[in-house]
Chain A
Amino acid sequence: MRFAFTRQGLRGREAALQRLFEIVPGALSWTILLGMLALSFARPLVAAVLVIASFFYWLLRLLYMTIFLVLSYARLSVESKTPWMERVRGLDADKTRQPPPTPEGWAARVSWWLHVRQLQALRREQVSWPGSAGLHHLVIIPVAKEAADILQPGLESLAQQSFPPERVLIVLAVEERAGEAIRRDAEALRERFAARFLDLLVILHLDGLPGEARVKGANATYAARAAQRAFAGRGIPPEQVIVSCFDADTVVSPEYMACLTYHFLTCPERTQASFQPIPVYHNNIWEVPGFARVLETGSSFFQLIEATNPEQLVTFSSHSMSFKALVDVGFWPVDMISDDSSIFWKAFLHFDGRYRVVPMYVTLSMDVVSARSWLRTVRNVYRQKRRWAWGVENFPILMRAFLRAPQIPLRDRVRHAAKLLEAHVGWATWGFLLTVLGWFPALFAGREFSSSVLYYSAPRITATIFHLASLSLLISIVLSQLLLPPTAPRFKVLRRIGLALEWLLVPLSATFLSALPALDAQTRLMLGRYMEFWVTDKVRARSQEGSDDASHDLQPRRGAVRSDGARR
């Protein structure tokens, strides 16, 4: 369908609808929180019943998610040593009809079995796959203020791929406002790495182009257009290109490109798909405060759980997609902060619902938000979570689109809208309900409620629920220990014990550094106070001398339009 995926320039009914749907998530969250507060005072008995019902729901949901977390982690472990490039070559030669190459170990056998099953499914559906020889990768790395020491490890990891690097085009998309030093860094990196790839372009994204806001999507789009021209110049069609948009600090495993290639080849409608790896935050995980470590591990877990539900998976953070799809949908939105999820919804609408995200059980690692002091880290984590929660900006646009998209099945529209709304409202409310509001009926019990059976039963039931929920916490602690990178040997035991204890901070961090920023974001959207774009600090131990504070506003600037900012 033709739909302008933006909230800019709307008029009449569309503007009214947009505003209405902007209000809905925040209004719903506040209604739940204030309603529970009011009920605790006015009708504590009703409030206590609601608390039990909602805690019970939360428990089952938590256990349900934990099951999929374990399954997903098992799949990730199984695929951790998969030789994806061999698989790609196997696809090219169609060797799967021959006996398997007797993989060693149970994990390799399971992985091979999954691979064979995948191919059998493709054959059953009579889907063929192209050869990998003509495939190219485009990696766009938007740079807002990140210096060479942040970018270099990622480039090194890309240069060491099992997939031939000479078929990988790297684009460093540098903001004009990043400053001379950053630009010099980018140039230096180009000189150092260009020969190891198909090419490495440094594209300078001019500040204040018409219709653009100061958002990452504008920079990435600008770079993608330049890359499109570069590929065209080399006679490489977009359908032969897979584009990955990575955060500047993204470090990929050596098999990442091969894994991505494999999934691209084995995807039936590969030019209408995105490919989502599991993001982990290991680059500086041992250098950040405990609460940040636990929060980011929680984010990885969330993505692991989501990966088990591809029907409703949405792209998040660093991800990849068909370049043809990107070109067809008109690239990333240039006026939205949540470019990572927006591009999925934009494509979903463009292809009338026939667009999907393929989960990939391969990790890519990024930095945990950090700063020089503990307090600044808290502030930065809060801002980062608020920016993630600003993904709620997709909801009103999506709802407007769904209202006039009969070609997308009603069931899909309802399912996606409900999930998006529930995810954001739950994000903003569960933390408060579990740690604060759930206890209000008992705390403010009047004489009538305190002489009821419910007053005495409720704490017992909630205690039982929390005891059962601690099973999930225990599993999370174990999985976090398994997922994290090794520590220095002299810290090994202490660090691991400390990490386990850090999970006890979850109630606090989930409320004040997850639910609160989400509520903040929804309230801003509800009140029409659209968020400024804020660039998260990525500070590593060796780059402490650099600035750890930066802010960029979202206001589009008027300025001279320059024809091209690309440099070789």
Chain B
Amino acid sequence: MRLARKLLFYCFTAAYLIGCPLTIAYALGYLYEPGTEHGLVQTGLISLSTTPPGATVYLNNKRYTKKTPAILRGLLPGEYQVRVALREHRSWSRAVTVEGAKAAAHERILLAPSVWRPQTVLTEPFEQLLPLSGGRFAVLLAGPTLGEAMALDVRDALPRPLLPVLSPWRQARLIDQFAVAGAPALLARVEIRGDEHLIWVDVRPEETVIEDLSRFLLHRPVWAIAQPNRKHRLVLFDDETLVALDDPAAPGGILASGVRGAGLDGRWVYLLRRSGMLERLDVDGRDREPLLQDEHLARSLFGTRGFFKILAPDDAFVLFWGEQGRLLGNRLPYRFARGGVTGVVQDPDRPRLLLWRRDAVGVLEYGDAEPDEELFERGPRLWWLAWPLTRVEQAFWAHEGSHALLRDGDELRLLELDPSAPAPPVDIVPVKHKTGALYAESEGAVYYLGAADGRLMRLAITPAREFLTLSRPDRATTTPPAGVRR
């Protein structure tokens, strides 16, 4: 037994001394390529994942046996032509650069169907679709009065009437309206029997709550913000007063005057004063904290006129979106866009914002702090996809942030957000002229009004979110077929 133990011990020690370095070398991508040219080389890999899965992979026009999701290992550094094809879907192709020890990951490839197949939800025609904040609710207008309007909840099979039969607001004629930021609500000016009213229309799963704010009718609302739980709601008017509708001390009272910009984030209200001073208040008005007191810097950034919507994507980053589409931030380089930005929406999963202007879509990445080994702070990075677009009216994050769904003019289009390899947007379907669309990421579906007849349509863009194929490094893996290692 002693001798056997010794022999085995030496065998296992040798196995470890030889096997461990080889395993680690393999894990790091090292391969031995016979021949004098290569010898021991450090390879890279390409990771591919598609929606839907099961697509065939071609590398430099050679077909792999494995379907997506797949990891193509053992690739020598260089550029490869990758194509992914699935029956009845548009193929995806890209020139992918592989570096030694690096993984080139394309893990949210959305394979668009060759033919889109929208479904009709309601056959009645509608004039307008007003999407509300949060991606779950929309208001459908079939005529000029609220009584003809319906509420769309993407979790229900069919829309329901916006107001109950006995509601006194059913006869109200809509003059103008805009969506409240942060909660599924509208702020609207309406007229009943010759009287004008300002109302807050709060669409909830089972019912719609309407609140008359006509006491503020003298002034034009610039922006309305609410917490998702509706505990605190703010409206900024064009006379520079900020009204807190739910102030426990003075309900419906003026929270602050001389305000050119406002924002609401959790328990904090951000205020940009007429003087250019920036501060934040506790929603209950108890704490006040100055954020910018440098008058010179404030004037240089915000000027002396114009309103700003203040967004606080996280504690360290505050964004100021001005009336002319200016976009400023509290981190370098401060001025992100001189004008033209018509929409901003936050990625729910990552520190990114999707921006759009008339002819372009951009992504503002603000997550990275200053890198360890660089002298200068890098700051948030904004990149635009300069593909010619007609007139972007709406944009949504789609497919876990890999794509943007655009309402570009009267067309819904899908754009892959990859700055390294810009690809043209895919036309999906035309929509009724000057009507909105609602994209629900949880359902993977867009709701819109049909271009010809104004019917409410539903089109699945991706599988419902829980069925998405997530990127995982331990999935099916394969090595390249002969002849494609370069």
Contacts and interface: CB of A to CB of B under 8 A. Distances in A.
A57 interface: yes
Contacts of B8: 64, 67
Contacts of B2: 310-311
Contacts of A52: 20, 23-24, 27
A56 B19 contact: yes
B9 interface: yes
A309 B29 CA distance: 40
Interface in B151-165: none
A454 interface: yes
Interface in A450-469: 450-461, 463
Nearest to B474: A459
A193 interface: no
Contacts of A455: 103, 473
A451 B103 CA distance: 5
Interface stretch (B42-50, B52-60, B127-135, B292-300): B42-50
B15 interface: yes
A452 B103 CA distance: 5
Interface majority SS on A: helix, strand, loop or mixed?
helix
Interface string B1-32: 11011001100100110011001101111000
A459 B27 contact: no
A60 to B, nearest CB: 5
Q: Which of A60, A311, A442, A453 has the most CB of B within 10 A?
A: A453
Nearest to A54: B20
Contact of A453 (B1, B5, B19, B44): B44
Q: Which of B4, B8, B19, B24 has the most CB of A within 10 A?
A: B24
A488 interface: no
Contact of A60 (B5, B16, B45): B16
A49 B5 contact: no
Given A308-B1, A442-B473, A453-B29, A60 B102 contact: no
A57 B27 contact: no
Contact of B474 (A53, A308, A311, A460): A460
Contacts of B201: none
A48 B23 CA distance: 12
Contacts of A49: 24, 27-28
A71 interface: yes
A48 B8 CA distance: 28
A68 interface: yes
Contacts of B104: 451
Nearest to B11: A64
Q: How large is the interface on A (under 10, 10 to 19, 20 to 34, 35 or more residues)?
A: 20 to 34
A308 B5 contact: yes
Contacts of A454: 27-29, 101
A362 to B, nearest CB: 17
Contacts of B1: 71, 308
Contacts of B73: 453, 456-457
A406 B380 CA distance: 67
Contact of A456 (B15, B24, B47): B47
B15 A60 contact: yes
B20 A57 contact: yes
B12 A463 contact: no
B103 A453 contact: yes
B477 interface: yes
Interface in A381-403: none
B20 A453 contact: no
Contacts of B26: 457, 461
Contacts of B23: 52, 56, 461
Nearest to A445: B473
B24 A453 contact: no
Q: How large is the interface on B (under 10, 10 to 19, 20 to 34, 35 or more residues)?
A: 20 to 34
A205 to B, nearest CB: 40
B28 A451 contact: no
B421 interface: no
Nearest to B367: A447
Q: Which of A68, A308, A455, A463 has the most CB of B within 10 A?
A: A455
B242 interface: no
Contact of B102 (A61, A67, A309, A453): A453
Contacts of A56: 16, 19-20, 23
Contacts of B426: none
Contact of B12 (A60, A310, A452, A459): A60
A453 B474 contact: no
B102 A451 contact: yes
B464 interface: no
B40 interface: no
Nearest to B28: A454
B473 A459 contact: yes
A357 B364 CA distance: 71
Nearest to B44: A453
Contacts of B19: 56, 60
B12 A453 contact: no
Contact of A309 (B5, B71, B103, B477): B5
Contacts of A71: 1, 4
Contacts of B20: 52-53, 56-57
B105 interface: yes
A453 B9 contact: no
A308 B4 CA distance: 10
Contact of A57 (B16, B43, B45, B472): B16
A146 to B, nearest CB: 37
Interface in B293-332: none
B347 to A, nearest CB: 16
B27 A461 contact: yes
B477 A453 contact: no
Nearest to A465: B23
B12 A456 contact: no
Contacts of A311: 2
Q: Which of B43, B47, B474 has the most CB of A within 10 A?
A: B474
Contacts of A53: 20, 24
A464 to B, nearest CB: 9
B472 to A, nearest CB: 8
B15 A452 contact: no
B160 to A, nearest CB: 44
A186 to B, nearest CB: 42
A458 B27 contact: yes
A204 B85 CA distance: 85
Contacts of B27: 48-49, 52, 453-454, 457-458, 461
Contacts of B47: 456
Nearest to B43: A453
A458 B28 CA distance: 9
A41 to B, nearest CB: 13
Interface in B69-124: 71, 73, 101-105
Contacts of A57: 16, 20
A116 to B, nearest CB: 16
A453 B44 CA distance: 6
Nearest to B19: A56
B373 to A, nearest CB: 11
Interface in A35-89: 48-49, 52-53, 56-57, 60-61, 63-64, 67-68, 71
Nearest to B472: A459
Interface string A547-560: 00000000000000
B474 A68 contact: no
B276 to A, nearest CB: 37
A61 B474 CA distance: 25
A57 B20 CA distance: 8
Contacts of A450: 103, 105
Contact of B477 (A60, A68, A458, A460): A460
A456 B479 CA distance: 13
Given A450-B105, A453-B29, 15 more contacts: A52-B23, A57-B20, A60-B16, A64-B9, A64-B12, A67-B8, A309-B5, A442-B473, A450-B103, A451-B103, A452-B101, A453-B102, A454-B101, A458-B27, A463-B474
5 contacts: A60-B16, A451-B103, A453-B43, A456-B103, A459-B474
Interface of A: 48-49, 52-53, 56-57, 60-61, 63-64, 67-68, 71, 308-311, 442, 450-461, 463
